[in-house]
Amino acid sequence: MTEPASVRVRVPAKINLALRVGPVMADGYHPLATVFQAVSLFDEITARSAPAGEFTVSVSGPQAHLVPTDGSNLALRAARLLARHHEHPDTLGVALHIDKDIPVTGGMAGGSADAAGALVACAALWGVRLASDELMRLGATLGADVPFCLLGQTALGTGRGDRVTPVLARGAYHWVVALVDGELSTPAVFRTFDELHADAPQPTPPEGLLGALATGEASELGRWLQNDLTDAALALRPGLRRLLDEGRDAGARGSLLSGSGPTCLFLADGADHATRIALALSGTGLCRDVRVATGPVPGARLVS
Ligand code: C5P
């Protein structure tokens, strides 16, 4: 079978509906019990054949200038890693292009999404046939969120967040995504968490939230949204408190820091409700941009 000259993959952003964090481990990572949901903000990764040994990446989109295009780019690292699983790695090359819509350094796994997209795209381009659990195992070595970006939908994450199991979620949820200026460094937020919660218990799956997801009711889910990194992120960016409060005042069923922030999320009853909350938040002057998204959606998938 001949391999295609170019392939395109669409990959979603992730949010954490619950993020429970335990005490730091010897390797610097933290044990997590988290519920991920993939939402409808997408990056598109295109992979084109290139001469042997040539691995390049280019980026387009409003925040393209914030994404490195050197060897540190996570999608490029994913391509090089996958190449090692080909029979003839020395014959391979790829020109990756990332059309970026997922906020950069916003706590929505933008870099991990691109790595997941590159793994799926390069596997199709080069005809590397790996079982999905093998692809996830490879992905986990690039970043803790990569396995979930491959899986998508709604899933429980344990370990570093890299061991993922699908969970039942009825219905569709409408989210308002408030983007703010500046970034919050994920390692810095976790370090602040350690300072604030020296006695953090081992995290356990959020049973109440898992039960709420099975009802399909936004009002029920809103009661259980939880992020243990909130105190730490607010200690570093106190201004986020006002944004979270404004969303609640605008009628959101729940407000939540996204991952390690600084993006904030608000749960709405439906599409019209989400638009009304988004308009109210836009008027506060606290956000760089406000988007609406629905979840769950599938993980990294070939579109051509
Ligand atoms: O795995 P990834 O590179 O996405 O993680 C980024 C950073 O987030 C890590 O370097 C670590 O500081 C922090 N992290 C953590 N515990 C996790 C996941 C991430 O401390 N389970």
- Residue from 16, 27, 29, 185 whose mutation best tests the ligand 1 pocket (most atoms within 8 A of CB): 29
1 pLDDT band (50/70/90 cuts)? low
Q: Which atom of ligand 1 is nearest to the CA of 144?
A: 1
Q: State the catalytic residue, choosing from 145, 162, 228, 269.
A: 145
The minimum-distance atom of ligand 1 relative to the CA of 109 is: 4
The confidence score (pLDDT) of residue 106 equals 84
- Per-residue pLDDT tens for 155-205? 999 999 999 999 999 989 999 999 998 889 999 999 999 999 999 999 999
Write down the pLDDT at residue 140: 97
Residue 76 is predicted with a pLDDT of 98
Per-residue pLDDT at 234: 97
- Residue 154: band (very low, low, confident or very high) from pLDDT cuts 50, 70, 90: very high
Q: Does the annotation mark 245 as catalytic?
A: no
Which H, E and C letters describe 105-159, residue by residue? CCCCCHHHHHHHHHHHHHHHHHCCCCCHHHHHHHHHCCCCCHHHHHHECEEEEEC
- Residues 271-283 have a mean pLDDT of 97
Task: Enter the pTM of the model.
Answer: 0.96
Ligand 1 site residues (CB inside 6 A) read 28-30, 32, 112, 143-145, 160-161, 186-187, 190
Strand-pairing partners, residue 36, are 16, 155
What value does the mean pLDDT of the chain take? Answer: 96
